[in-house]
C-alpha cells in the first residue's frame, strides 16, 4: 500500500460516497484465454454493508501496458485502484454477497496520451472538500485511526490534482469550519465531523441504492 505510516486497513472512498476496501492479488499475469492483455484479480468490499463485495478481474490493455513503467504494485497500484473506483462511480460494478468474477477494463479510457497522465475526472474544489470530509470520516470510523493521510498521491490522482492542492483545499474549505485539524499531509477528524454520521450514512445508502437500481434495470 502506498501510505506513509502504518495502518492496517485502507479505506478508499468514491466520489459518490461509498467507502471501499480493495484487495489486489499481485502480480498481473498474461491472459490465459489467448487475448492480448494482462489480468489482475482482486476483490472490492463495500464497507458498512453486510458482506457485499465484487470479485474483479482487471484487464490491462496492451496500449496502456506500453505507458506503464512496470506492472509491479509500486507503479500500477494507484491507477488500478482509481480505475476501479471510477467504474464504481459509473455504476459498472455490482456488489453482491456472492458472485462470479467481473472483468473490468483497465484501458486507454483512463489515460491521456497527449498529456501523458492518468485521467479519472477533474474534481472542483468543492468536490474535493466534500471528498476530504468523506475520506477522513470513513477512515476514522472504520479503522479507529486518529490521523488520516490526505497527502496520498493515489487520492490526488483520483481527483486529478496534486497532493499539495488537495491538502490546501481541505485546509481552506473543511478545516476552516472546524471539521478537521491539518498537520502537514495528515488530517484529524474533529467532533463536529464525526457527529455527522447520519449524513455520511445517507450518502452511502443513496449511492448504493442508485447502483443497485441501475443493475436491477439491466437485468430486467
User: CATH number of the domain that 175 lies in?
Assistant: 1.10.10
pLDDT digits (tens, 9 = 90+) for 37-52: 899 999 999 998 888 9
pLDDT at 218: 63
Same domain, 106 and 129: no
- Same domain (yes/no): 56, 108: yes
* 162 within domain boundaries: yes
User: pTM of the full predicted structure?
Assistant: 0.88
Q: Cα-Cα-Cα-Cα dihedral of 63, 66, 71, 74, to 10°?
A: -110
Q: What is the per-residue pLDDT for 217? A: 63
**What integer pLDDT is reported at residue 4 of this predicted model?**
44
Residue 100 in any domain: the answer is yes
User: Would residue 43 be called left, alpha or beta, if left means φ above 0 and alpha means ψ between -120 and 50 degrees?
Assistant: beta
Residues in the chain with pLDDT values less than 50? 1-6
On whether both 129 and 194 belong to a single domain, the answer is yes
Same domain, 30 and 97: yes
Q: In what order do the strands lie in the sheet with 186-189?
A: 148-149, 186-189, 180-183
The pLDDT of residue 78 is 96
Cβ neighbors of 80 (< 8 A, separation 6 or more) are 24, 40, 42, 58, 106
pLDDT recorded at residue 34: 62
Asked if residue 22 and residue 92 are part of one domain, the reply reads yes
Indicate whether 211 belongs to any domain: no
What confidence score (pLDDT) does residue 214 get? 75
Residue-range definition of the domain harbouring residue 166: 125-198
- Residue 83's closest CA among 60, 62, 67? 60
For residue 7, is it within any domain? no
Domains held by the chain: number: 2
Query: Is residue 220 one of the residues assigned to a domain?
Result: no
User: Where is the domain boundary, 118, 139, 161?
Assistant: 118
- Does residue 203 sit within a domain? no
In a domain? residue 60: yes
- Report the candidate in 1, 78, 95 with the shortest Cα–Cα distance to residue 43: 95
Q: What is the residue-averaged pLDDT of the chain?
A: 90
**Same domain for 192 and 149:** yes
Structural domain contains residue 3: no
Amino acid at each position: 500500500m502506498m501510505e506513509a505510516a502504518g495502518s492496517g486497513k485502507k479505506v478508499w472512498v468514491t466520489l459518490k460516497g461509498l467507502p471501499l476496501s480493495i484487495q489486489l492479488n499481485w502480480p498481473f499475469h498474461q491472459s490465459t484465454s489467448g487475448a492480448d492483455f494482462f489480468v489482475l484479480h482482486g476483490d472490492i468490499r463495500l464497507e458498512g454493508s453486510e458482506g457485499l463485495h465484487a470479485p474483479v478481474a482487471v484487464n490491462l490493455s496492451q496500449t496502456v501496458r506500453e505507458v506503464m513503467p512496470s506492472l509491479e504494485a509500486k507503479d500500477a497500484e494507484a491507477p488500478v485502484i482509481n480505475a476501479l473506483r471510477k467504474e464504481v462511480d459509473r455504476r459498472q460494478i455490482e456488489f453482491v454477497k456472492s458472485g462470479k468474477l467481473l472483468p473490468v477494463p483497465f484501458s486507454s479510457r483512463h489515460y491521456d496520451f497527449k498529456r501523458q497522465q492518468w485521467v479519472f475526472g477533474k474534481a472542483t474544489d468543492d468536490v474535493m472538500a466534500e471528498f476530504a470530509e468523506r475520506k477522513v470520516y470513513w477512515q476514522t470510523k472504520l479503522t479507529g485511526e486518529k490521523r488520516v493521510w490526505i497527502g496520498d498521491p493515489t487520492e490526488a490522482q483520483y481527483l486529478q490534482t496534486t497532493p499539495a492542492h488537495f491538502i490546501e483545499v481541505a485546509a481552506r474549505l473543511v478545516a476552516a469550519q472546524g471539521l478537521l485539524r491539518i498537520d502537514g499531509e495528515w488530517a484529524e477528524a474533529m467532533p463536529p465531523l464525526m457527529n455527522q454520521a447520519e449524513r455520511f450514512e445517507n450518502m452511502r445508502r443513496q449511492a448504493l441504492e442508485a447502483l443497485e437500481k441501475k443493475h436491477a434495470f439491466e437485468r430486467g
